[in-house]
Amino acid sequence: MSTTWIIIALILGFVVIFQIAKASEYVAIMRGEKRTRQESNRINAFLMLVFLVGGLIGVWYCNERLKDKILPEAASNHGENIDRMIWITLAITGVVFVITQALLFWFSYKYQERENRQAFYFPHNNRLEVIWTVIPAITLTILVGFGLYYWFQITGEAPKDAIQIEVTGKQFNWEFRYPGKDGIFGKKYFKEVSEEKSNPLGQIWSDPANHDDIYTTGEMHLVVGKPVKLIINSKDVIHDVGLGHFRMKQDAVPGIPTTMWFTPKYTTRQMREKYGPDFNYEISCQEMCGKGHYSMRGTVIVESQAEYNAWLASKQPQYVAAMAANAPAAPAKDSAAAPTAAVGSTQSMNN
């Protein structure tokens, strides 16, 4: 019942406001509404120019202050191409933006309502429609072409000497697998996944190629100047491997491995010398994947080949950990023998 009265009150309030507005309109007409509107229109037209100038200055100022603070320079070979494509796109769209906004606000000022001016209706013009349809279409086609070209490079065949790393996303962490000395990943099967048995990726231990594979979490190691191919998987929902410093990203889809490759340009140490000691390359999830999505982040360490080899040599293959976890418990020692031996030794001492 109370809901009904609330609805009735809202309807009556709307009717009262509407009637007051109509009454105000009639009063304005009686007092010379036309003149009042023209004066208000002149003020608004002048403010349009102020807004145009202030807005363009604001855009320029924000760009100058923030252009180097969002992300540092691209740290991969493909990242350079992505940045170049972005700058070309911004240059083209920026020119169009400035021209169209300047005309929009200038026309609002120049063609404001005046006493002796009639509105001119311009409903159709084939030439103009062809111009503003064909030119943007050609421009966008070129930009999309560049994008596809770079995308096929990123997701295409990696160089033969590329390091291969398997990246697996799960709620809410990243897992990494490196092939051992044989350079081959062992086979996996999702039904073999078991944290209790130290087999988080479902590796098939009967496959000898699995016996030297290295498993880590939270931190991925790369070699500077050497191509790396990422083989990307997911255990649960769709994630997204985001490598902002390298300008790379790729979906991690359950049951459908995806790939991308790139070549790191700078070590972590070099980037810290440029941007401060707190700098770290980051791998993040860029696909909303659940309530812990914000925490799905890891660190990428870019280092020399010697440092990478030393780090890899310090890691124990996951096969060793799994065999130790699944080994049968050692049989308990015979507790009856100890008291007998103790009694015998006591008697000999007494003799």
Domain range summary for the chain, segments of one domain joined by +: 37-113+126-155, 163-326
Q: β-strands 228-234, 163-170: how paired?
A: parallel
- Average pLDDT of the segment spanning 107-134: 82
Question: pLDDT tens, 131-176?
Answer: 889 998 999 999 999 899 999 999 999 999 999 999 999 999 999 9
277 CA to centre of own chain: 24
Question: 189 pLDDT exceeds 70?
Answer: yes
Give me the chain's average pLDDT, please. 85
- Structurally, at CATH architecture level, domain 163-326 sits in Sandwich (2.60)
Question: pLDDT tens, 178-187?
Answer: 998 888 999 9
Query: What residues contact residue 254 under an 8 Å CB cut-off, 6+ apart?
Result: 233, 234, 235, 236, 237, 238
HEC assignment per residue over the chain: CHHHHHHHHHHHHHHHHHHHHHHHHHHHHHHCHHHHHHHHHHHHHHHHHHHHHHHHHHHHHHHHHHCCCCCCCCCEHHHHHHHHHHHHHHHHHHHHHHHHHHHHHHHHHHCCCCCCCCCCCCCCCHHHHHHHHHHHHHHHHHHHHHHHHHHHHHHCCCCCCCEEEEEEEECCEEEEEECCCCCCCCCECHHHCECCCCECCCECCCCHHHCCCEEEECEEEEECCCCEEEEEEECCCCEEEEEHHHCEEEEEECCECEEEEECECCCHHHHHHHHCCCCCEEEEECCCCCCCHHHCEEEEEEECHHHHHHHHHCCCCHHHHHHHHHCCCCCCCCCCHHHHHHHHHHHHHHC
Question: pLDDT tens, 16-74?
Answer: 887 777 776 666 666 566 677 777 778 888 888 888 888 888 888 888 888 777 778 89
Question: pLDDT tens, 213-263?
Answer: 999 998 999 999 999 999 999 999 999 999 999 999 999 999 999 999 999
Q: Distance between CA 308 and CA 10 in Å, rounded?
A: 70
